[in-house]
Chain A
Amino acid sequence: MSALLSIEDLAVSFRTDATPFEALHGLSLDVLRGRTLALVGESGSGKSVTAQAILRLLPTSATITRGRILFRDGTGETDIARLPAEGSAMRAIRGQRIAMIFQEPMTCLSPLHTIGDQIGEALRIHTGADRRESDARTQDALARVGFPDPKRALRTYPFELSGGLRQRAMIAMALILKPALLVADEPTTALDVTTQAQILALLTRLQEETGMAILLITHDLGVVANVAHDVAVLYRGRLVESGPREAVMRAPGHAYLRALLHAVPRFDMAPGERLTPIRPARAEIPPVQEHKPLAGPILQVEGVSKTFTLRAGRIWQKPRLVHAVSDVSLSLAAGQTLGLVGESGSGKTTVSKMIMRALEPDAGRILFDDGRGPRDVHTLSGDALFAYRRSVQFVFQDPYASLDPRMTVRQILCEPMEIHGVPAAERKERCRALMAMVGLEASGLGRYPHAFSGGQRQRIGIARALAVEPRLLVLDEPVSALDVSVQAQILNLLKDLQAALGLSYLIVSHNLAVIDYMADTISVMCRGRIVEEAPRAALFRRPVHPYTRALLAAVPDPSLDHPLDFAAVASDLNDPTRWEAPYRLEPDEAGTMRAIEAGHRVRFGGATEAVAA
Chain B
Amino acid sequence: MTDALSAESHFVDPAPFEPDSGPEGRAESASAWRLIVRKFLHHRLAVASAVILLALYAIVPFVELLAPYGQARRNGDFLYAPPQGVHLFHDGRFVGPFVYPYRAHLDLDTFRRDYKVDTAAPQPLRFLCRGDGYDWLGLVHTDLHLVCPPENGTLFLFGTDKLGRDLFSRLIYGARISLTIGLVGVAISFTLGLFFGGIAGYFGGIVDAGVQRLIEVVRSLPELPLWLALSAALPPNWSPLLIFFGITVILGLLDWPGLARAVRGKLLALREEDFVQAAELMGASPARVISRHLIPNFMSHLIASATLSIPTMILGETALSFLGLGLRPPVTSWGVLLNEAQNLAAVQLYPWLLVPVLPVLVTVLAFNFLGDGLRDAADPYQ
Contacts and interface: CB of A to CB of B under 8 A. Distances in A.
Contacts, number: 134
Interface residues of B, number: 43
Interface in B333-364: none
B151 interface: no
Given A386-B283, A416-B282, A405 B13 contact: no
Contacts of B28: 451
Interface string A246-277: 11100101111001000000000000000000
A244 interface: yes
A298 B280 CA distance: 23
Contacts of B275: 401-405
Interface string A228-249: 0000000110111111101110
A385 B381 CA distance: 36
Contacts of A416: 282
Q: Which of B17, B23, B31, B288 has the most CB of A within 10 A?
A: B23
B19 A259 contact: yes
A405 B381 contact: yes
Contacts of A406: 31-32, 296-297
A520 interface: no
A451 B32 contact: no
Contacts of B27: 451
B213 interface: no
A450 B283 CA distance: 25
B293 A404 contact: yes
Interface in B281-304: 281-284, 288, 292-293, 296-297
Nearest to A45: B23
B9 interface: yes
A456 interface: yes
A43 interface: yes
A244 B20 contact: no
B277 A450 contact: no
B10 A451 contact: no
B94 interface: no
Contacts of A456: 24-25
A241 B11 contact: yes
A415 interface: yes
Contact of A243 (B6, B15, B281, B292): B6
B29 to A, nearest CB: 4
B274 A236 contact: no
Contacts of B30: 448
Q: Which of B16, B31, B280 has the most CB of A within 10 A?
A: B31
B17 A254 contact: yes
A216 to B, nearest CB: 18
Given A248-B10, A420-B283, A451 B29 contact: yes
Contacts of A205: none
Contacts of B274: 396, 398, 401-402
A278 B20 CA distance: 8
Contacts of A246: 3, 6
Nearest to B6: A244
Nearest to A417: B282
A140 B348 CA distance: 76
B12 interface: yes
A497 B16 CA distance: 33
A452 interface: yes
A280 to B, nearest CB: 9
A389 B29 contact: no
Contacts of B91: none
Contacts of A385: 283
Nearest to B272: A401
Contacts of B139: none
A393 B197 CA distance: 32
B21 A236 contact: yes
A504 interface: no
Nearest to B275: A404
Interface in A79-129: none
Interface string B162-188: 000000000000000000000000000
A447 interface: yes
Nearest to B3: A246
Interface string B16-50: 11011111111111111000000000000000000
Given A256-B19, A401-B273, A416-B282, A244 B32 contact: no
A345 interface: no
A483 B283 contact: no
A485 B28 CA distance: 24
Nearest to B277: A358
A290 B273 CA distance: 36
B250 interface: no
Nearest to B16: A255
A415 B284 contact: yes
A394 interface: yes
B377 to A, nearest CB: 14
Q: Which of B13, B20, B275, B296 has the most CB of A within 10 A?
A: B275
A243 B284 contact: no
A386 B292 CA distance: 19
Given A239-B11, A240-B12, A246-B6, A419 B17 contact: no
Contacts of B293: 404
A319 interface: no
Contacts of B6: 243-244, 246-247
Nearest to A248: B10
A263 to B, nearest CB: 10
Contact of B29 (A253, A259, A394, A447): A447
Interface in A409-455: 415-416, 419-420, 446-448, 450-455
A603 B381 CA distance: 48
B7 interface: yes
B13 A238 contact: yes
A522 to B, nearest CB: 25
Contact of B13 (A239, A386, A415): A239
A279 interface: yes
B288 A419 contact: yes
A358 B281 contact: yes
B12 A253 contact: yes
Interface in A509-566: none
Interface in B83-106: none
Given A356-B281, A420-B283, A247 B381 contact: no
A28 to B, nearest CB: 9
Interface string B214-253: 0000000000000000000000000000000000000000
B278 A402 contact: yes
A219 interface: no
Nearest first, the 5 closest Cβ-Cβ pairs linking A and B are: A389-B283, A243-B10, A253-B12, A402-B274, A255-B17
Given A251-B10, A256-B17, A398-B274, 4 more contacts: A243-B9, A244-B9, A248-B10, A396-B278
11 contacts: A238-B15, A244-B1, A278-B19, A278-B22, A404-B293, A404-B296, A405-B381, A416-B282, A419-B284, A420-B282, A483-B23
